[in-house]
A and B are shown apart, each in its own frame.
Chain A
Amino acid sequence: MTKTIAEELAKKQQSISVSEFFTKNRHLLGFDNPRKALLTTIKEGVDNSLDACQEAKVLPTIKVKIKQLQEERFCVSIEDNGPGIVKAQIPNIFAKLLYGSKFHTMIQSRGQQGIGISASVLYSQLTTGKPAKITSKIGKNHPAHYYELKIDTKNNEPEIVIDKETSFDQDHGTKVELEMEAIYQKGARGVDEYLKQTSIANPHAEIIYVDPEGNKVTFPRASEKLPVEPKEIKPHPHGIELGIFISMLQNTNSKTLTSFFTNDFIRVSSVTAKRICGEAGIKTNESPKSLDRDTAEKLYNIVQKTKLIAPPTNCLSPIGTEALQKSLEKEVPAEFFTSVTRPASVYRGNPFQVEVAAAYGGQLNSEEQIKLLRFANRVPLQYQQSACAITKSVIDTNWRNYGLSQSRSALPQGPIILAVHMASVWVPFTSESKEAIAHYPEIIKEIKLAVQEVGRKIASHIRRTVRVREQRERASLFEKYIPEIASSLSNLTSSKKTDVQEKLNKILKKSLKDILRELPEEDKSDKIKEEGKNKHVKKEKQSTLGSRKSRK
């Protein structure tokens, strides 16, 4: 009896190991090339540290150190003052892929990847064969534990190389050391820029960085306030996919459809649940688990069409206008700073909120395009700028209205750094690499409104500085003219030159005061503009200094 083709093929079919999967899919996980591998490792480490500190309500101090061992080999060390990790969990967290607590919760969080730091451990192991070194301490009276860990790539289990007690110079915290093949580069997509932007998006964090050349850079804390703890919320029916809906039906503890809708979701009342079931022709006391796929889909479609109250927005944790602006102020050598926080809004059942801060002038380059910093849930987005909804919104804004030059379909030109942050329980990325926000109209609208408001503030600042400079130039010209006028007049009349000169200077000074007195008023009208949001109330002040007068 000959074997069927399927049976022949079955011989070749076997489960692939995690390491094979990893090697073939590194690009999905951020390890496309040695340069990005270094950045991804530091990102995962810093994200973990920030999250841990946030959960423990500790103001984070994170030390990042990169040491070059060979031309393409580096040792990366990330240390935090977080709560530490209990001994038993250390091997699982660092040496087991897909181990974590962040899946499928509706809460604003940084990573959402879940693949996390263990991917870096695996990458390190694959490129150098060396174990990861972990030190952690959970409290003053607890010992510090030191592990050297590898991943058993066949079974996806931790392999402990060394396990011992050690000393740690903080009361609590965790330190990760990884050796890996990598390339270090400065620039917009490098580690240095990532840490700088992370510091901007996390004003409560202090980051101390030692680069491969041994230079130590400290990004100080801009705020002593811990961010508001984001609240976990149940999903809104408009924000989930059919597949998730079906699995929720299968896994629910609710016994009836009514309780399923009212308990497992937000914003569905029992009256609404009854109406949905009625429309679908299903009994309200039907068990959710008994529904077949077709019925579930029918139900899902009806739910999507049903009008529901938008989800609550108090579950978000924005950076805060003031803190974001302070962050920029400490990192950017500009002359003018401003920021705007939009009220929270909703796209497809997911609450989100947009914040924008801007730095203008000073030492920033006015010949180039503006520098756009993108953030999603406090994480800097350094790649795929052109695919991002933030970039689109900024390009679609007409910056010429605000006194900047802008080519078609391009970022405006001017001495501006614009930081845009989107906080959401679920940030819709365009792809796995999570570097660009998807183009939802609601999101673009909110970003545009925020950017426009910032644009108006910048424009009014530009007008003000131009005016002040012009006035100063005028004043100085008048000052220079005065002695000439005075000597002509003293020749024409019997008055003394010094006397006339003094009086003219007095008049000039008095008139200048008039100009300066106008400025606070301008500020006031700016505020009115902000309150009135989109109303363009513009009032050009005329200088009191001599308007041309003609009389008959």
Chain B
Amino acid sequence: MSKKKNNQLSALESLGNEVVKQINKGKNPEIPVPIRALSNVEFDEKTKTVKLGNKIAARYFFNVAHAKKFLQTLEVASISKNLLKEEKHASLRDVFYMAKRTIPGTKVNIVDEQTESDSVLEDLELVTDLSREQLHVNANKNGSVAGKVVIEDKGDTIDWSKLGSGGWSIPSNVENIKFKKVAGKYILYMEKAAVWERLHEDKFWDKQNCIIMSSQGQATRGIRRLLQRLTKEYNIPVYVLTDLDSWGHYIYSVIRFGSINLASLSEKMAIPDVKHLGIHTADIGKYKLEKHLIKFKDTDLSRLKQIREYPWFKDNKEWQKEFIALKNLGAKAEIQALSSRGISFISDTYLPEKIKNKDFLY
């Protein structure tokens, strides 16, 4: 077993030993877990990223509100230790099923939803100071990439320009990927897989000499790390294309500043100079999308209010102006609204124009 693996094992063991020590003393055992919430993140003006604060909540066993989470934390730690020992990797879904069972004599399941085991695993990363991958758990592959790039992954050489209609699927761990050849003026990241397919079919990356990358919804860790590596190592700018709504804005926010939930990982993932390409409120009039808007619901408004008040947006005049404009618009627009102007309007007109005019929000 490698030294690295030993460190990982001992991190998990020391978590267990701490708990056993308290039990031996006859104390109500506790696990200190850093709080992962807006109340415990700070905006680091220097690095321009979201940083985890130092608030810690003690998770007790003999406490009605904590007992189950306490149990889940130890259960997942134990699963992770088994994976390390057996030198196998499991998916988040696997971990959920390994933990999911009914406690004898009760109607209580250790976990009911995958979100519970996912969340406990994120806690465990903070408690052990190990990443999910180091704990031998991988997220599902999510998102595609295409462009004039050649990489080497586990001994295989892969050319992102020669992968047919699907592109390359981005794994959750991109740490060990080696870039052999990288060409492109910029990377375009979009939140919609369907839009990526449109651009891929139109050979947008070939015509515009760029890299296109997508996820479905929020950018996963693998995508964010890959984006950061490409922009850092090859100095290629990143542009983000999202829907015109608060969820789209938060996708941009996570890529640029880091996420509240994984504030501890911001350093390895945040891309402080990423630009937002669209859709902007100004595009509505410019590209005649007025008739293709979706009216705001209450949740849209309240989310908008939250985002406006995030410390990293609070003093950003450009973005505050956009937020107010969106509020006044009282409606949202999807990227696909552009298809109303023609199926390839986005690749032929909208994107080239925006990039040429440097019509970005930052």
The reply to whether the CB of A467 lies closer than 8 angstroms to some CB of chain B is no
Known: A484-B103, A488-B75. A546 touches B62 (CB 8 A): yes
Interface residues of A in 480-497 (CB under 8 A from B): 480-481, 483-485, 487-489, 491-493, 495
Listed in ascending order, the chain A residues whose CB lies under 8 Å from chain B are 474, 477-478, 480-481, 483-485, 487-489, 491-493, 495, 500, 503-504, 506-508, 510-511, 545-552
For the A-B complex with A488-B78, A492-B15, A507-B28 known, give 8 more contacts whose Cβ atoms are closer than 8 Å: A487-B78, A489-B19, A493-B16, A503-B23, A507-B62, A510-B26, A550-B57, A552-B55
Q: For residue A485, which residues in chain B have a CB less than 8 angstroms away from its CB?
A: 61, 70-71, 74
Please pick, from B20, B26, B71, B77, the residue contacting A495 in the complex, using a CB distance under 8 A.
Answer: B20
The reply to whether the CB of B54 lies closer than 8 angstroms to some CB of chain A is yes
Known: A491-B81, A546-B66, A552-B55. A477 touches B106 (CB 8 A): yes
Cα distance A546–B62 when bound, in Å?
6
A511 B67 Cβ-Cβ under 8 A: no
Cα distance A536–B82 when bound, in Å?
58
Q: Which residue of B lies closest to A473 (CB)?
A: B64
B79 nearest CB across to chain A (Å): 9
Cα distance A413–B182 when bound, in Å?
78
Known: A492-B15, A500-B20, A547-B63. A507 touches B26 (CB 8 A): yes
B62 A508 Cβ-Cβ under 8 A: yes
Interface residues of B in 42-70 (CB under 8 A from A): 54-58, 60-68, 70
A480 B103 Cβ-Cβ under 8 A: yes
Cα distance A489–B110 when bound, in Å?
15
Q: For residue A492, which residues in chain B have a CB less than 8 angstroms away from its CB?
A: 12-13, 15-17, 74, 77-78, 81
Please pick, from A489, A506, A550, the residue contacting B16 in the complex, using a CB distance under 8 A.
Answer: A489
The reply to whether the CB of B155 lies closer than 8 angstroms to some CB of chain A is no
Cα distance A487–B105 when bound, in Å?
16
Known: A489-B20, A503-B23, A546-B28. A484 touches B57 (CB 8 A): no
B11 nearest CB across to chain A (Å): 11
Q: Can you list the 3 inter-chain pairs with the closest CB atoms, starting with the nearest?
A: A546-B63, A492-B16, A488-B74
B105 nearest CB across to chain A (Å): 5
The reply to whether the CB of B2 lies closer than 8 angstroms to some CB of chain A is no
Q: 21 A-B Cβ contacts within 8 A?
A: A474-B64, A481-B67, A481-B71, A484-B75, A485-B71, A488-B16, A488-B77, A491-B82, A492-B17, A492-B77, A493-B13, A493-B17, A493-B20, A503-B24, A507-B28, A511-B62, A545-B63, A546-B60, A548-B65, A550-B57, A551-B56
Known: A480-B103, A484-B110, A552-B54. A503 touches B17 (CB 8 A): no
Q: For residue A510, which residues in chain B have a CB less than 8 angstroms away from its CB?
A: 26
A143 nearest CB across to chain B (Å): 76
Can you list, as one digit per residue, whether each of B295-335 has a CB less than 8 Å from chain A (1) or not (0)? 00000000000000000000000000000000000000000
Cα distance A483–B75 when bound, in Å?
12
A231 nearest CB across to chain B (Å): 59
Known: A489-B19, A492-B81, A550-B58. A507 touches B27 (CB 8 A): yes
Interface residues of B in 1-46 (CB under 8 A from A): 12-13, 15-17, 19-20, 23-24, 26-29, 35
Q: Which residue of B lies closest to A508 (CB)?
A: B62
Please pick, from A481, A503, A549, the residue contacting B58 in the complex, using a CB distance under 8 A.
Answer: A549
B67 A503 Cβ-Cβ under 8 A: no
Cα distance A550–B37 when bound, in Å?
14
Q: For residue A550, which residues in chain B have a CB less than 8 angstroms away from its CB?
A: 35, 55-58
Known: A492-B78, A507-B26, A511-B62. A477 touches B16 (CB 8 A): no
Cα distance A546–B17 when bound, in Å?
21
Q: Which residue of B lies closest to A550 (CB)?
A: B57
Interface size for B (C-beta < 8 A) is: 42
A63 nearest CB across to chain B (Å): 56
A70 nearest CB across to chain B (Å): 61
Cα distance A478–B67 when bound, in Å?
8
Can you list, as one digit per residue, whether each of B71-95 has a CB less than 8 Å from chain A (1) or not (0)? 1001101100110000000000000
Cα distance A503–B70 when bound, in Å?
17
Cα distance A493–B23 when bound, in Å?
13
Please pick, from A478, A480, A507, the residue contacting B23 in the complex, using a CB distance under 8 A.
Answer: A507
Q: For residue A545, which residues in chain B have a CB less than 8 angstroms away from its CB?
A: 28, 62-64
A477 B62 Cβ-Cβ under 8 A: no
The reply to whether the CB of B164 lies closer than 8 angstroms to some CB of chain A is no
Known: A492-B13, A492-B16, A545-B63. A551 touches B106 (CB 8 A): no
The reply to whether the CB of B282 lies closer than 8 angstroms to some CB of chain A is no
Q: Which residue of B lies closest to A470 (CB)?
A: B64
Q: Which residue of A lies closest to B27 (CB)?
A: A507
Cα distance A504–B65 when bound, in Å?
18
Q: For residue B66, which residues in chain A have a CB less than 8 angstroms away from its CB?
A: 546, 548
The reply to whether the CB of B108 lies closer than 8 angstroms to some CB of chain A is yes
Q: For residue B58, which residues in chain A have a CB less than 8 angstroms away from its CB?
A: 548-551
Cα distance A508–B26 when bound, in Å?
10
Q: For residue B27, which residues in chain A have a CB less than 8 angstroms away from its CB?
A: 507
The reply to whether the CB of B104 lies closer than 8 angstroms to some CB of chain A is yes
A398 nearest CB across to chain B (Å): 31
Cα distance A492–B12 when bound, in Å?
7
Cα distance A507–B19 when bound, in Å?
13
Q: For residue B103, which residues in chain A have a CB less than 8 angstroms away from its CB?
A: 480-481, 484
Q: Which residue of B lies closest to A504 (CB)?
A: B23
A478, A483, A488, A511: residue with the most chain B Cβ atoms closer than 10 Å: A488
Please pick, from B12, B28, B55, B57, the residue contacting A548 in the complex, using a CB distance under 8 A.
Answer: B57
Cα distance A478–B75 when bound, in Å?
15
B62 A478 Cβ-Cβ under 8 A: yes
Q: Which residue of B lies closest to A502 (CB)?
A: B23
Q: For residue B75, which residues in chain A have a CB less than 8 angstroms away from its CB?
A: 484, 488
Cα distance A510–B104 when bound, in Å?
24
Cα distance A550–B57 when bound, in Å?
5
Cα distance A550–B65 when bound, in Å?
14
Cα distance A315–B334 when bound, in Å?
89
Cα distance A470–B170 when bound, in Å?
50
Q: For residue A549, which residues in chain B have a CB less than 8 angstroms away from its CB?
A: 57-58, 60
B5 nearest CB across to chain A (Å): 16
Can you list, as one digit per residue, whether each of B96-116 has a CB less than 8 Å from chain A (1) or not (0)? 000000011110101000000
A489 B74 Cβ-Cβ under 8 A: yes
Known: A508-B62, A547-B63. A477 touches B108 (CB 8 A): yes
Cα distance A550–B70 when bound, in Å?
16
Q: For residue A508, which residues in chain B have a CB less than 8 angstroms away from its CB?
A: 62
Cα distance A498–B277 when bound, in Å?
60
Q: For residue A488, which residues in chain B have a CB less than 8 angstroms away from its CB?
A: 16, 71, 74-75, 77-78
Q: For residue A478, which residues in chain B have a CB less than 8 angstroms away from its CB?
A: 61-62, 67
Q: Which residue of A lies closest to B110 (CB)?
A: A484
A480 B105 Cβ-Cβ under 8 A: yes
Q: For residue A495, which residues in chain B have a CB less than 8 angstroms away from its CB?
A: 20
Q: For residue A551, which residues in chain B have a CB less than 8 angstroms away from its CB?
A: 56, 58
A480 B74 Cβ-Cβ under 8 A: no
Q: For residue B12, which residues in chain A have a CB less than 8 angstroms away from its CB?
A: 492
Q: Which residue of B lies closest to A507 (CB)?
A: B26
Cα distance A484–B78 when bound, in Å?
11
Please pick, from B65, B67, B81, the residue contacting A477 in the complex, using a CB distance under 8 A.
Answer: B67
Q: Which residue of B lies closest to A511 (CB)?
A: B62
Cα distance A471–B104 when bound, in Å?
20
Q: For residue B108, which residues in chain A have a CB less than 8 angstroms away from its CB?
A: 477, 480
Known: A500-B23, A507-B23. A480 touches B16 (CB 8 A): no
Cα distance A19–B66 when bound, in Å?
81
Q: For residue B35, which residues in chain A have a CB less than 8 angstroms away from its CB?
A: 550
Q: For residue B70, which residues in chain A have a CB less than 8 angstroms away from its CB?
A: 485
B15, B20, B65: residue with the most chain A Cβ atoms closer than 10 Å: B20
Q: Which residue of B lies closest to A546 (CB)?
A: B63
A491, A511, A548, A551: residue with the most chain B Cβ atoms closer than 10 Å: A491
Q: Which residue of A lies closest to B56 (CB)?
A: A551
B104 A480 Cβ-Cβ under 8 A: yes
Cα distance A500–B20 when bound, in Å?
7
Q: For residue B16, which residues in chain A have a CB less than 8 angstroms away from its CB?
A: 488-489, 491-493
